[in-house]
Amino acid sequence: AKSLGKDRYQLYSEELTVDARHNLSIEQDLRQALQSDQFVLHYQPQYRLDNQKLCGFEALVRWHHPEKGLIGPDKFIPVAEETQLIVPLGWQILDKVFSRVANWIRTGVDVPMMAINISPQQLLQADFIQRLNLMVDQYGLARNLFELEVTESMIMQDPDFVIQQLQRLRLSGYNLALDDFGTGFSSLDRIKYLPLNRIKIDKSFTRDIGRNPKDEAVIISAIALGRSLGVEVLAEGVETAAQCEFLREHACESAQGYLFGRPVPPEVITQEVKGALG
């Protein structure tokens, strides 16, 4: 049994080495990318379901790699989180979004609300809120223009401190959304302590509307939970008119997904809004 254990260990450590080497090369690339400004943000619209009006955008980061082209966040955010590079990357993202929003406001583009994803390591920085407020102030922006998206898994890292940070953010004037709702098991009991404005139903539930009654049941109860807690509910990943109709019938407040628009570079948003104005 001992030798089997040893073999297993070696097999495992070899796999780990390959994996670690791969991540190490991404890490080095990420450091380079941070220095040479290779990150860009795309923006995806959000719509109210009762009146079909645009009610916000979500900022989603992409990596403009000099050789590999545009890389999606699923490929590098996890490595950035493991290596703590998410902290400097997070500041770059916030700076880019604030600068863009300030520019839009200056040029008459209406921004109802801007949602930004926040990683646990960012929130766990003791000076996070102080620096955030300073940045928003320096751009002359109102804090309530922004919605910070956090996940259930984040809350598990250090529940007391995270809840305290969320309360401070709320008191500072930011809106808070719970992202990927329904994908963690822990939340129902804790959710009442979170100072949320919004719950975002994960796209894995939206996808199965009309196909799986259990997913529909989760959506219906999330909407009911939102109503009883006094927070809005947004459904992510809406791709079909039938999904949209189901959500509207069940009085879900807002939605986001390919049906309404994909994440696009800021110039596209600017053009669309200017086009709509004449």
Residues binding Ca ion (CB under 5 A) = 117, 149, 179-180
Q: Which among 124, 151, 144, 134 is positioned nearest to 94, based on CA atoms? A: 134
Which does residue 253 touch among Ca ion, ligand C2E, none (CB within 5 to 8 A, set by kind)?
Answer: none
Residues 6+ apart with CB under 8 A from 209: 215, 216, 219, 242, 243, 246, 247
Which does residue 93 touch among ligand C2E, Ca ion, none (CB within 5 to 8 A, set by kind)?
Answer: ligand C2E
With CB under 6 A as the rule, give the number of residues binding ligand C2E.
20
> Would you say how long the chain is, in residues?
278
Q: CB–CB of 114/97 below 8 Å?
A: yes
Residues 6+ apart with CB under 8 A from 187: 152, 155, 178, 181
Q: Which long-range contacts (CB under 8 A, 24 or more apart) does 204-207 make?
A: 204/237, 205/235, 206/235, 206/236, 206/237, 206/238, 206/239, 206/243, 206/247, 206/257, 207/237, 207/239
Instruction: Give the tokens for residue 124.
Output: 């766990």
DSSP letter assigned to residue 194: S
CB of 142 to Ca ion, least distance (A): 21
Which does residue 45 touch among ligand C2E, Ca ion, none (CB within 5 to 8 A, set by kind)?
Answer: none
Q: Which of 54, 257, 266, 269 binds ligand C2E (CB under 6 A)?
A: 257
133/204 with CB nearer ligand C2E: 204
Q: Determine how β-strand 114-117 pairs with β-strand 69-71.
A: unpaired
Which does residue 77 touch among Ca ion, ligand C2E, none (CB within 5 to 8 A, set by kind)?
Answer: ligand C2E
Stretch that binds ligand C2E, among 9-17, 140-148, 243-251, 256-264 (CB under 6 A): 256-264
Kind plus residue range of the DSSP H or E element containing 198: strand 198-201
Instruction: Give the tokens for residue 176.
Output: 């808070």
CB of 4 to ligand C2E, least distance (A): 39
Stretch that binds ligand C2E, among 13-21, 68-76, 160-168, 181-189 (CB under 6 A): 68-76
86/231 with CB nearer ligand C2E: 86
Q: Which of residues 133-192 bind ligand C2E (CB under 6 A)?
A: 179-180
Binding mask 40-59 toward ligand C2E (x if CB under 6 A, else -) reads ----x---------------
Which does residue 71 touch among Ca ion, ligand C2E, none (CB within 5 to 8 A, set by kind)?
Answer: none
Decide: is 74 part of the binding site for ligand C2E (CB under 6 A): yes
Decide: is 72 part of the binding site for ligand C2E (CB under 6 A): yes
Instruction: Give the tokens for residue 159.
Output: 């529940």
Please count the other Cβ atoms lying within 10 Å of the Cβ belonging to residue 65.
Answer: 15
Decide: is 64 part of the binding site for ligand C2E (CB under 6 A): no
29/149 with CB nearer Ca ion: 149
Q: Where does this chain bind ligand C2E (CB under 6 A)?
A: 44, 60-61, 72-74, 77, 93, 117, 119, 179-180, 203, 236-239, 257-258, 263
